[in-house]
Amino acid sequence: AKHLNASRETSWNTEITILAELRAASSTHRDRRRDPIAPFGTHEDLPGEFDVVLGAHSHAFIPLDKAKIASLGYHPSLLPRWRGIAAVEWTIKAGDPIAGGSVYHLSDEMDAGGIAAQDWCFVLPGEDDASLWRRELGPMGLRLMIKVIDEIAETGACRADPQDERFVTLAPRIKDSAA
What single string gives the DSSP state of each residue in 64-120? STTEEEEEEEEESSSTTTTBSTTHHHHHHHTT-SEEEEEEEE--SSTT-SPEEEEEE
CA–CA dist 10, 154 (Å, integer) = 7
CA–CA dist 29, 42 (Å, integer) = 16
Supply the DSSP symbol for 134.
Answer: I
Which range has the worst mean pLDDT, 1-5, 52-56, 63-67?
Answer: 1-5
Supply the DSSP symbol for 82.
Answer: T
pTM for this structure?
Answer: 0.76
Give 122-143 pLDDT, tens digit per residue: 999 999 999 999 999 999 999 9
Residue 50's pLDDT band, with cuts at 50, 70 and 90, is confident
In this structure, the number of other CB atoms found within 10 A of the CB of residue 145 comes to 23
Torsion of CA 123, 101, 165, 129, to 10 degrees: 40
Cβ proximity of 72 and 117 under 8 Å = no
Residue 20 is predicted with a pLDDT of 41
Whether the predicted pLDDT of 89 surpasses 70 = yes
CA–CA dist 100, 52 (Å, integer) = 23
- Alpha helical stretches, state H, 78-177: 87-93, 129-132, 138-155
CA–CA dist 42, 47 (Å, integer) = 11
